[in-house]
Amino acid sequence: MGRRRLGFWQWFAVVLVKPVMTVWTRRTWRGMEHLDQDGPVIIVPNHISHADPLVSAHFVFDAGRWPQFLGKASVFKVPVIGWILHRCRQIPVERGSVDAVKSLDALVKALDAGGAVIIYPEGTTSREPDLWPMKGKTGAARLALATGAPVVPLAMWGPERIFDPRRARINLRPRIPVTVVAGPPIDLSRWAGTAPSRQVLEEMTEVIMLRLRDMLADIRGGTPPPLWQRSTRPQPDRQRPEAAA
């Protein structure tokens, strides 16, 4: 579903946010043609900054789609804010709970209605020291397998200049350069109709993350490293940005 049927609160959000982003960023947008004006789509961006949702939402809206993000279910229970989020068609997600299946049902319902759902497959901002992509979690793959919706990669570079998670520092100067590139849907057809086993989901996720990594390398230049693996050991020097995620 495109922007033709937006309600009052959705337009209110646009009027509130878009002028700020227009002044705050100097944008290079590419690949908007991969976000069809109608029909379901799962959008998978790399995650480098807490500013990513603002930048990706701006891009998706300019491409003619209404962005639907996943948000912590607890936020939706906050008076007024939760009501507005529901009105803006954002999607509550239960994490670490037996109710997590309800979150998948909500995502499937959004896609069945022709929505453009944005999922960060890394699950959090990258912990890789130079902000290259990490190994992803399997939520986007599980949703793609359940719905058959196309998965469109969204590579971003520049939001880390707005807010750098490594230093927990915000930059308020205007016209910060940001680049967002949407690629053609990722070919996941080899897994169509298969059961969502752990191996299948991890293989699909690996393909998604490698595509994002290579697209990011095209923007940044240079040779990308292997997908960064989260360490199970404590990392004291990374605690501050992790706490802010």
- CA dist., res. 64 & res. 1, Å (int): 9
| Average pLDDT, integer, range 100-118 | 88
The one-letter amino acid at 59 = F
High-pLDDT (> 70) share of the chain, %: 89
User: Which tokens hold the place of 162?
Assistant: 């707005």
Count of beta carbons in the 10 Å neighbourhood of residue 162: 22
pLDDT value of position 244: 31
What's the pLDDT band for 2 if we cut at 50, 70, 90?
low
* DSSP letter string, 29-72: EE-GGGS-SSS-EEEEE----TTHHHHHHHHHHHTTB-EEEEEE
Domains of the chain: 8-244 (3.40.1130.10)
Check: CB of residue 162 under 8 Å from CB of residue 24: yes
Task: Collapse the DSSP code of 24 into the 3-class scheme (helix H, G, I; strand E, B; otherwise coil) and give the result.
Answer: helix
- CA dist., res. 196 & res. 187, Å (int): 17
pLDDT value of position 77: 86
Nearest to 46 by CA among 143, 144, 158: 158
- CA dist., res. 213 & res. 8, Å (int): 37
Q: What is the pLDDT of residues 5-59, one digit of tens each?
A: 789 999 999 999 999 999 999 999 999 999 987 899 999 999 999 999 999 999 9
Beta partners for 179?
28, 157
pLDDT value of position 98: 58
Q: Supply φ then ψ for residue 200, to 5 degrees.
A: -60, -50
Q: What is the pLDDT of residues 118-176, one digit of tens each?
A: 999 998 999 999 999 999 999 999 999 999 999 999 999 999 999 999 999 999 999 99
pLDDT at residue 112 tops 70: yes
HSE-up (13 A, CA, CB side) for residue 133 = 33
Show the 3-state SS of 78-121: CCCHHHHHHHCCCEEECCCCCCHHHHHHHHHHHHHCCCEEECCC
- CA dist., res. 87 & res. 8, Å (int): 9
- The order of strands in the sheet holding 41-45 is 25-30, 176-182, 151-157, 41-45, 116-118, 67-72, 91-93
- CA dist., res. 80 & res. 186, Å (int): 38
Q: Supply φ then ψ for residue 156, to 5 degrees.
A: -125, 145
What's the pLDDT band for 241 if we cut at 50, 70, 90?
very low
